[in-house]
Structure 1
Amino acid sequence: MPDKERDRRIKDLGTLKALAHPLRSQLYRALSIARTATASQLAEQVDEAVSLVSYHLRKLAEHGLIEAAEPQSGDGRERWWQPASDGVSIRDEDFRDAPEKAAAHTAASRLFFDQRADLYRRFLDERTHWGEEWNDAAESSEAVLRLTAGELAELNKELLALVRRYDERGRAAETAGDTEGRENVAVHMYGFPFRT
């Protein structure tokens, strides 16, 4: 397979709605973490029936979000899946030209935020099981800055570039066989204006 695109930019309402389904977004995240998986493996992770998971994987594939992967075992009955890109980006500017599109973008953004918040809540609930090293490394902070819209855009671009460098470093290390002590790490960034 050729190199994956870095972040597929979702611009159409159909693809946004396909990904904004709660189970589909959960499956997309699980598949992004696993890199390749079968419907059976993913069904076990999300505690759903294999037939239901298979249906939703096909819907994600119809919109080009995931694709068939090379089989990872000798069982020819198994269908393997992988993300079609290294990630997705969804920008407000692509959905603000019609009320239906803006509403769908807002609903999708809320779903993704809720799922991220649930992931962080799970970490907080399980914090004692992660040990001192991971607890010392984990971070939760807030900075209130006085910026222009242009400065916020520049800050977001720099933060994303930094996260990508660490992602590439981790992937390269794993490819080289350095898996000792590596865990999945979620980095959530939100930068938005507000008034008091």
Structure 2
Amino acid sequence: MTSQEHRRIDDLGTLKAIAHPLRMRLYRALFVSRTATASQLADQVDEAVSLVSYHLRKLAEHGLIEEAEAQSADGRERWWQPSSYGFSIRDEDVRAPELAAATAAFGRTVDEQRREMYDRFRDERHTWSEEWRSAAVSSEWLPRLTAPELASLGKELDALLQKYDRRARAAEAAGDTEGRENVAVHLHGFPYRGTA
């Protein structure tokens, strides 16, 4: 990854590019693998290499991913990596109607894919070791906060998760791969009215 910062998305073209379901799956798979070729990603998402290559180029056009240093001697392979440590979409950047609509489409895509990931875990829970089943977290909290408190909570959670991720990436780079698995942490924090 070139940048360790989140990329701030505030334009319609980039929002539309990442809102595409296959592109979001490819971005997520690339973020997890750190670097990959179109062929490797095609295997992960069960799509044709030509289709994956097309969508990777679209993500690159919008600066979400970039070419990576080759990981093999095969000069025909094109390697990709995320261009930043994730991205963010801020409400103040997407208030225009067309941006709001694209943000809503992106949100639906992400929520659907998150639900699919969690449903898959629940369906396959018995295939994981007792240690992983016990470590899995599913919680809900219903605190009464102000908007600034919720914003602060989000920043603290983001910093905490980035700390764990960076520590894990450094350990893995040093050869500590024993027992490591990909872990998804999904959290929503939003106001609501009425009964829960």
TM bin, normalised by shorter chain, reads over 0.9
- Equivalent residue, structure 1, for 2:100: 102
2:129 counterpart SS class: helix
The one of 129, 134, 137 equivalent to 2:132 is 134
Query: How many residue pairs were aligned?
Result: 194
- Equivalent residue, structure 2, for 1:50: 49
1 or 2 for the larger relative contact order (CA 8 Å, sep ≥6)? Answer: 2
Q: Provide the rounded CA distance (Å) in 2 between the counterparts of 1:93 and 1:183.
A: 36
Compute the displacement of 1:85 (Å). 0.8
Alignment of 1:56-67 (within 5 A): 56-67=55-66
Corresponding position: 1:73 with 2:72:
yes
Deviations 1:59-117 (A, max 9, x none): 00000111111111111111111111111111222101x21111111111111111111
Q: Provide the rounded CA distance (Å) in 2 between the counterparts of 1:165 and 1:74.
A: 34
Following TM superposition, the consecutive aligned residue runs of length 4 or more in structure 1 with deviations greater than 2 angstroms are: none
Deviations 1:161-181 (A, max 9, x none): 111111111011111111100
Q: Provide the rounded CA distance (Å) in 1 between the counterparts of 2:97 and 2:62.
A: 22
- Equivalent residue, structure 1, for 2:187: 189
Compute the displacement of 1:13 (Å). 0.9
Q: Provide the rounded CA distance (Å) in 1 between the counterparts of 2:170 and 2:14.
A: 31
Corresponding position: 1:82 with 2:81:
yes
Gapped regions of structure 2 (runs ≥ 5): none
Q: Provide the rounded CA distance (Å) in 2 between the counterparts of 1:158 and 1:71.
A: 36
Compute the displacement of 1:184 (Å). 0.6
Compute the displacement of 1:5 (Å). 3.3
Kindly provide the amino acid, as one letter, of the partner of residue 133 in structure 2.
N
- Equivalent residue, structure 1, for 2:38: 39
Q: Is the 8 A contact 1:92 1:105 kept in 2?
A: no
2:52 counterpart SS class: helix
Kindly provide the amino acid, as one letter, of the partner of residue 187 in structure 1.
V
Corresponding position: 1:4 with 2:3:
yes
Q: Provide the rounded CA distance (Å) in 1 between the counterparts of 2:160 and 2:4.
A: 18
Q: Provide the rounded CA distance (Å) in 1 between the counterparts of 2:89 and 2:181.
A: 26
CA RMSD in angstroms comes to 1.1
Q: Provide the rounded CA distance (Å) in 2 between the counterparts of 1:161 and 1:69.
A: 26
Corresponding position: 1:123 with 2:100:
no
Compute the displacement of 1:131 (Å). 1.2
Compute the displacement of 1:126 (Å). 0.8
Gapped regions of structure 1 (runs ≥ 5): none
Q: Provide the rounded CA distance (Å) in 1 between the counterparts of 2:14 and 2:40.
A: 24
TM-score normalized with structure 2 length:
0.96
Percentage of identical aligned residues: 71
TM-score normalized with structure 1 length:
0.96
